[in-house]
Amino acid sequence: MFAHALLCALFSGSMLVNCDVIAELPQGTVQGTYKTSYGGKNYSAFEGIPYAKPPVDKLRFEEPQPAEKWNGVLVADKSYVCTSFIPFPMVRGVMGTEDCLYVYVYVPRMKISKEENLDVVVHIHGGAFMLGAPMYMADPTFIMDQNVVYVSFNYRLGVLGFLSTEDDVVPGNNGLKDQSLALKWIKDNIKYFGGNPNSITLTGLSAGAASVHYHYLSPWSKGLFHRGFSQSGTSLQHWALVEEPLLKAQTVARNLSCTIESTRPMVDCLKKIDAEDLVMGILPLFVFIDSVPFTTFGPVVEKGSNPFPARPALQIAQGGKVQDVPWVVSNVKDEGLMPAGLFMMMKKLEELNRRWDEIMPYALDINSTVDDNDKKDVITKVRKYYFKEESLSPDNLDSLAELFSDRGFLVDAEKAIRAHSKAVKSPVYYYLFNYVLQIPAMFKGTKKGVAHSDDGRILFKIFGTPSKLPKDDEKNDETSDWIYNFLCIFKVSRDIVSKPKMNGVEWKPVDPASEEIDYLNILSPDDISMGKIKELAHNSFWNSLPIKENDKIL
């Protein structure tokens, strides 16, 4: 640190040493860089601060351990991607590094002051618990136009983050435990960046949204945040809980010539496998386009001695073991365009139609939750309900999207909203995003609609979002300003507790005693209203099926 101070004294005013972008942490001194927001605002960026020891070698598959101190000055100008399998044809393969547990802090100032006490927004990236990284799915460019400290971080993914042996050897959920350790790091250190450790809003999209909800339910994260925002995901989604994790771990081990006779020697063997080979070892688990099932390794109900969740999420919520802080939940109109649009883009609709009985138990994630003698009947009923007697084709892609919207998002989101609102005194808010953005669709060949992640794309910039947002026909460039209103609504406790408004419309919380759900209906920046809805989707149909999950777990 003395050497750095000397340089600052000798070269003050020089671009060689930027002495203003410095934060003094208990771990050591960290130096950031300057970046520019979407609106042209300069801000300080600290990218790549370790919050945990590298989870490599003996620490692979182990619970995260806090990072150690460092000597000298850490120049925080690097972004990381956790090792993961990328299934898309144009980039198919393994990406990232095991040494990836880093945090990224962005401050809306060119000089850091511990006296600022700014509100803090933390974002957990999505990616089905299998892929993704802040640099691709949580870019600060848009949000740093706001007067908040913004934080994102990596967490272990796929088999490296969520392998479970259903015992104390590898209980599971290390990716979620990484998140909790990152949240603790933020709580302990954000004051050194001018952030308020008592005003932390936890946000997430898709798998990140489900993660947010899991942190409400886990003792690991108690007291580490003060309000939450789940965009298109809760812990009750079928893809947010993996069944038969030991069987999946054994399948990977067998594929890599490791013993499966007992869990300890199996894990010892898997720890010695090259990371890329280990990640590619999951391929036998897929039955369709290296993407189905969508989550091969993810959160589990632990059987270890220090569980993240010890029981299924709905049971925890119904038992009242929930952090009692405000929660915002959302969905977009056409959630199921992902994966329906992906299947169409890859020209796989005909194959899906032909192999329906073989693929759909995995695509709908019922292979382990429906008895074998009921699977054919369930899949047949689903097909008839959504397609009548038609064959699957581009002409009825809407029906496929509706199917995946209902099964993947809306039915279980409603269960989560209802159970959570009954378990807490704090308000639970819900909105439906029906606004078709004036930016290109994520997947070519899909119909124009409101696709999964659209509301998140202009809040936390995701890959594929244009660097310059196109002008809306009527509102010019106000779309991004308008979506920021969400942040202004819930980032400060006094706002969310005291009747928040969107475009002048009072946003009413969900009434846990009502049969109807109060929701904010967003049709455009100028067309926002409160509505009531009895069911978010075709609940009655899905609840009639013998799927053993959530409220039907025996």
Dihedral of CA atoms 435, 439, 442, 446 in degrees, nearest 10, equals 70
Active-site residue, 452 included: yes
- CA gap 298, 162 in Å, rounded: 5
Helix axes 207-217, 411-423, angle to 10 degrees: 30
Please, which residues bridge with residue 118 across strands? Answer: 195
Catalytic residue among 98, 166, 302, 335: 335
Active-site residue, 335 included: yes
Amino acid identity, position 28: G
Cβ burial of 515 (10 Å; 0-12, 13-18, 19+) is: exposed
- Report the run of H or E that residue 209 belongs to, with start and end: helix 207-217
Amino acid identity, position 10: L
3-state secondary structure of 329: strand
Catalytic residue among 452, 453, 538, 549: 452
Spacing of C-alpha 228 from chain mean position: 12
Catalytic residue among 44, 180, 199, 206: 206
88 CB contacts (<8 Å, ≥6 apart)?
A: none
171 CB contacts (<8 Å, ≥6 apart)?
A: 164, 165, 302, 303, 304, 305, 306, 307
- CA gap 217, 321 in Å, rounded: 6
- Report the run of H or E that residue 37 belongs to, with start and end: none
4 CB contacts (<8 Å, ≥6 apart)?
A: 17, 22, 29, 31, 72, 73
Cβ burial of 3 (10 Å; 0-12, 13-18, 19+) is: exposed
- CA gap 40, 43 in Å, rounded: 10
Q: Is 388 left (phi over 0), alpha (psi -120 to 50) or beta?
A: left
Dihedral of CA atoms 196, 201, 207, 211 in degrees, nearest 10, equals 80
Contact between 79 and 129 under an 8 Å Cβ cutoff? The reply is no
Closest to 295 (Cα-Cα) out of 408, 141, 446, 169: 408
- CA gap 149, 151 in Å, rounded: 7
Dihedral of CA atoms 218, 219, 224, 226 in degrees, nearest 10, equals 60
Active-site residue, 206 included: yes
Counting other chains too, the contacts that 360-368 makes at CB distance below 8 Å and 24 or more residues apart are 362/287, 362/288, 362/292, 362/293, 363/288, 363/292, 363/293, 363/294, 363/339, 364/238, 364/407, 365/238, 365/239, 365/293, 365/294, 365/295, 366/238, 366/547, 367/293, 368/243, 368/244
Catalytic residues: 206, 335, 452
